Structure 1
Amino acid sequence: MSDRRFRFGVVGSPRSGADWMTTARRAAELGYETVLMPDGLQLPSPFPSLAMAAAVADIRVGTFVAAAPLRTPRQTAWEAHTLTVLTDGRFEFGIGTGRPVAEQQTAEVGLPWGTARERREQVIETLDLLRELDGERRTPIMLAAGGPKALALAAERADIVSLAKDATTPRSEVIAVANELRTLAGSRADDIELATNLLAAGTRPLPPWTKRASGVDPDALEAMDSLMLLRGTPHQMADELLRRRESIGTTYITVNDTYLEDLAPVIELLAGN
């Protein structure tokens, strides 16, 4: 379905400056193309953290994803544009309407949470302002999309689309979402990179935190062929990613930094593919 080559990213959460620098440098050494960071008050701010990662390693960086309600649109666009300038174009701007936990955090910073429509309009306003700030230098945009309205926005504005379905979503439904996105995108379809995020890779037993992240017991998650898992030997994992590219079109593969080393052999096997 897609002849776009694979690329890989790692999603990290800095526990210290030294730890974060180690993650960025190791990711670059292993062939990952991006270091990504979530957004939330429980973590260091993503924008300076990503600037630090880009300064210590020859790697792209990105928000995964910035929660629009946590800042005003002008502030978020300013932060994103700044990273594009300071990294000489190595920044990818992921933005979304915010996960449920962001509602309390938005109140903590003194901003309104708003309705789903208002938060979606914040995303659009931020993208418009970023385009104005960027001028001729354009920041790549990542949007997560699963529902009809998010898919329509992603089809119109995104360079990268992360298919926003939970860990229990059947493969057939994810394929249907990807096909709907391509239909909505029309002539833009081939320009959109499809992304998927992995909770775990390799053969190690799933850690307890996967239940918090997925809402499903690890054993049940293993049994249901979840697309948030990539299990097996490096060759088995590489073959599975080739199948997913053929059926879904996903070529941008990101993984939790816990599995940084586990996925690395797959990157080597699929290099240039």
Structure 2
Amino acid sequence: MADRRFRFGLMAGGARDGAAWADLARRAEDLGYATLLTPDTTGTADPVASLAAAAGATESLRVGTFVLSAATRPAAMVAWQAASLAFATGDRFELGIGAGRPGGEADAELFGVPYGTAAERVRRVEAVMDAVAHPPEGLFAGTGRPPRVLVAASRRRMLELGARRAGTVAFGVPPLTGDKELAPLVGIVRDAAGDRFDDVELCTQVHVVGDEVPGWLAPQLGVDGAAMAAAGSIAMLTGTPREMAGTLARRRDELGVSYVSVPSVFAEEFAPVVELLAGR
């Protein structure tokens, strides 16, 4: 297996105001996080604006969408936004793209665009990747260097698309998914990637750091800490920082996962793990 070095992303939907958002970005950079990631929802700020602001407040921190919905934007628009963010951030932008999210139909309705079937949305992701790699004639191309692309996937077709074409594949899996359930998904990526598998970064999300699911998060996950612990959920890390680091190191050795995101509410608590593993 390739020499996969750890990266850590901090997931944040926003802040109290622009000044607090800039402070969060600077703190993420100080703590050693590689990326500041933000979602694409109608209830949060437009990622283009918030990520440009975060990059402007920092020096080396990379910023990324996690993930932009191809279901609500034309491919050329995404390519334009990606090139603009690459330009504005000094090539510190990473484009996370997906085929939609639970409840995404409401976003499409709000914007007045068709949401499409699952197959149609996958084709839109492919069209976005084409447009980002080769911007249509007349479209602003930024620095001329396409950003790194992350594909978020949970089903075979999207996993295979990410394996063939993306720099990073992020596994969007239910909160009770353990290593045993993740392994066959990694296998799909490995088979589809072929010779390029060693160059494909694998990403998972940690939603809970510690033994308890915060009250605000429980309704979103639909499970409690006891159920996650019993399932050996990859979305929960418990123990001391060194024990958490050991869990992630074992998962990297066994499955190849080296890019891990955590919610910003756990930024400080998880920072000792970042210090132990980042870049190693």
Alignment match, 2:240:
233
Report sequence identity in percent.
40
Query: 4+ runs of 1 displaced by more than 4 Å?
Result: none
Q: 1:223 aligns with which of 222, 227, 230?
A: 230
1:115 aligns with 2:114: no
C-alpha distance in 2 between matches for 1:118 and 1:66: 16
RMSD value, Cα: 1.5
Aligned residues: 272
Is 2:4 the partner of 1:4?
A: yes
Residue 182 of structure 1 aligns with which residue?
190
Moved more, 183-192 or 161-170: 161-170
* Aligned match of 1:250: 257
Gaps of at least 5 residues in structure 2 are 136-140
* 1:144 shift after superposition: 1.3
Equivalent in the alignment of 2:22: 21
Equivalence for 1:261: 268
* Structure 1 range deviating more: 40-49 or 13-22: 13-22
Q: Distance in 1 between matches of 2:188 and 2:111?
A: 37
TM-score, length-normalised on structure 1? 0.95
Aligned partners of 2:177 and 2:232 also within 8 Å: no
In structure 2, how many angstroms separate the alpha carbons of the residues matched to 1:67 and 1:272? 29
> Per-residue CA shift, 1:94-141, capped at 9, x if unaligned?
010111211111111110011111111111111111112358512100
Residue 129 of structure 2 is matched in structure 1 by 127
- 2:68: which partner in 1? 66
Shift of 1:14: 1.1
Task: Show the counterpart of 1:41.
Answer: 42
Give, in whole Å, the separation in 1 of the partners of 2:265 and 2:187. 31
Please name the residue that 1:91 is paired with: 93
Checking the alignment, whether the CA contact within 8 Å between 1:10 and 1:35 is kept in structure 2 is yes
Is the Cα–Cα contact under 8 Å of residues 31 and 264 in structure 1 kept in the other structure? yes
Q: Hey, what's the Cα distance between the residues in 2 that align with 1:204 and 1:179?
A: 30
Cα pair distance change 1:271/1:217, threshold 3 Å: closer
Moved more, 217-226 or 101-110: 217-226
Q: Does the aligned pair in 2 maintain the 1:2–1:246 contact within 8 Å?
A: no
- Counterpart of 1:169 (choices 154, 164, 177) is 177
Provide the secondary structure at the position in 2 that maps to 1:70.
coil
Cα distance change on mapping 1:139 and 1:9 into 2, 3 Å: same
| Structure 1 range deviating more: 103-112 or 162-171 | 162-171
Q: What letter corresponds to residue 7 of structure 1 in structure 2?
A: R
The alpha-carbon deviation at position 10 of structure 1 amounts to 0.1
Which amino acid is 1:211 matched to?
A: A
CA distance in 1, matches of 2:18, 2:225: 31
Quote the Cα distance in structure 2 between the aligned partners of 1:271 and 1:9.
10
Q: Which runs of 5+ in 1 are unaligned?
A: none
**Residue pair 1:11, 1:257 contacting (<8 A) in 2 also:** yes
When structure 1 is superposed on structure 2, of 259-268 and 135-144 the one drifting more is: 135-144
Q: Which residue of 2 aligns with 1:158?
A: 166
Partners of 2:217 and 2:13 in 1: CA distance: 16
Does 1:191 pair with 2:191? Answer: no
CA distance in 2, matches of 1:2, 1:216: 34
CA distance in 1, matches of 2:189, 2:19: 40
